[in-house]
Amino acid sequence: MTRLLGGGQIGSELPRPQWTVALLWVLGLLLWLASAGNLVASALLVPPETPPHFWIAQVIVLVGGLVGGALAIGMALLAKYSFSAAVSAKLVERMLRETVQKKPEGGSFSSEMGSAAHAEVVSLLSEIMENTLLDDSEKAAKRQLAKKHRQQALHREIEALIKAGKYREAHERLEEFRLRYPEDRAVAELEAQLSESLRQHEQGQIASVSEQVRRYMGLGLWDRAMEMARGLAEQFPENPEASQLPETVRLEQLAGRRQEQQRLYREIEHVVARKHWRQALRAAETLVENHPDSPEAGLLRDQMEELRRNSAIAERKEWETRIAEHVQTGRHREAYALAIELMEKYPDSPQADEIRKRLDQLKARAGVVAK
């Protein structure tokens, strides 16, 4: 305690009020003694017939002396404890600084205490110590300076959040800035900066997603393209380009389907002209299955029976040719198997009738024993 009240290195760094405290104590005691002495002297020396107003004056002097002495002693105590509080704050600040500057063995500085937290604690303790020693005008100036620093720090924080793309947090901090400093012109500047950053972000996001949607449409991934387009429209409902994108995908899909229908129909016409009936039938079945409501599907339904009939004729002729080739090359077992398969699939066809006439011959050449 002696160290805190004036002794040692910490106490020597601050102006010590020892003489002031001593003088105030002496003044208070002298006032009390003088008041009491004056009353005793008056009681012993003044005659009893003295008028009452004299004694009233003496009582007033006594009370004034006692009050003055009490005030002097109170001021001495206040000066003493103010100095003690300032020295204590300075001591705690130094001890804390020395503690956090010592790195533990095998550890890091951040494992003991974060640098930001340390700086904040030291700053607060320093502020307590300084405020204890400042007068009212200095405290007002300090508060004004602290307010300016907080304002600048919040301003920088909002700008950093905007730059980092954290727009929701930036908006919240901007509202806080507006409430704290409504008359500051920086509010309008920060609003304009946030609005411009949001606009650029919106345009960049729309351009990026739109490009991805176009790639999906080019690959025929219409469901994925529509999903992304709807997500963009929900994210930016007030943007005309974003809100129109799902409709654009829908129209492009319709146009793509129409082109696919026309392409398939032209392909069918081409293979029909070349009498590739089996290929034409497969293409026609694909078009009718995938695009049942298209005009081309309606036209093909009227021709499907003819396509199936011609496809069957082409298939039977192909089998007939393969059977003849197997017979000519001596592959009689394969020829016999194909002949049986043809008769089972197309029993009423002319080829089946012809095979029945030659079946015994084919069986004999294939070495098949009759059951």
Q: Report the C-alpha gap between 234 and 152 in whole angstroms.
A: 37
Q: Are residues 89 and 27 in the same domain?
A: yes
The predicted structure's pLDDT at residue 111: 43
Predicted local confidence at residue 211, as pLDDT: 92
Same domain for 91 and 167, yes or no, is no
pTM over 0.85: no
CB 83 within 8 A of CB 17: yes
Over the stretch 23-59, which tens digit does the pLDDT of each residue have?
777 777 887 777 777 767 767 776 766 777 776 777 7
Do 20 and 126 fall within a single domain?
A: yes
DSSP designation for 252: H
Q: Comparing 176-190, 198-212, 242-256, 352-366, which segment has the lowest mean pLDDT?
A: 352-366
**Cβ atoms of 113 and 100 closer than 8 Å:** yes
14 shares a domain with 90: yes
Kindly tell me if the per-residue pLDDT of 293 is higher than 70.
Answer: yes
Confidence of residue 11 (pLDDT cuts 50, 70, 90): very low
Question: Is residue 278 in a domain?
Answer: no
Among residues of the chain, what percentage have pLDDT more than 70? 75
Domain co-membership, 211 together with 325? no
Q: Give the count of domains, the chain.
A: 3
* C-alpha span between 235 and 203 (Å, rounded): 12
Residue 349 structural domain? 316-371
Q: Is residue 293 in a domain?
A: no
Instruction: Tell me, yes or no, whether 297 lies in a domain.
Output: no
- 79/181 same-domain check: no
What does the pLDDT look like over 111-155, one tens digit per residue?
A: 444 454 455 555 555 666 565 555 567 767 767 777 788 888 888
Of 197, 142, 187, 138, nearest in space to 164 by CA: 197
List pLDDT tens digits, range 58-103.
777 777 777 777 787 777 777 776 766 666 666 666 666 655 555 4
Residues 165-170, mean pLDDT to the nearest whole number: 84
Q: Is the same domain home to 192 and 91?
A: no
Q: What is the pLDDT averaged over residues 245-273?
A: 86
| CA–CA distance, 170 with 89 (Å, rounded to integer) | 36
Residues 201, 93, single domain; the answer is no
Higher pLDDT, 147 or 18: 147
Residue that finishes a domain, picked among 184, 204, 233: 233
Residue 270 has pLDDT above 80, yes or no: yes
Beta-carbon contacts of residue 269 (< 8 Å; ≥ 6 apart): none
Please tell me whether residues 128 and 153 are part of one structural domain: no
- How many other C-beta atoms are found inside a 10 Å radius of the C-beta of residue 330? 10
Does residue 216 belong to any structural domain of this protein?
A: yes
The answer as to whether 351 is a domain residue is yes
Q: What per-residue confidence (pLDDT) applies to 132?
A: 58
| Position 5 confidence tier, pLDDT thresholds 50, 70, 90 | very low
Tell me, what's the pLDDT at 100? 54
322 lies in a domain? yes
What is the per-residue pLDDT for 283? 85
In a domain? residue 29? yes
Whether residues 42 and 126 fall in one domain? yes
Residue-averaged pLDDT of the chain:
75
Is 310 part of a structural domain of the chain? no
Q: Tell me what pLDDT residue 3 has.
A: 39
pLDDT the model gives residue 370: 54
Which pLDDT score, from 0 to 100, does residue 247 have?
92
* DSSP SS3 for 154: helix
**The last residue of a domain, from among 233, 268, 290:** 233
Q: What is the pLDDT of residue 246?
A: 92
Q: Are residues 12 and 65 in the same domain?
A: yes
Predicted pLDDT of residue 212: 92
**Contact yes or no for 311/278 (Cβ under 8 A):** yes
The reply to whether 168 and 83 lie within a common domain is no
Of residues 108 and 68, the one with the higher pLDDT is: 68
Where do the H-state alpha helices sit in 101-221? 109-112, 115-133, 136-163, 167-180, 186-218
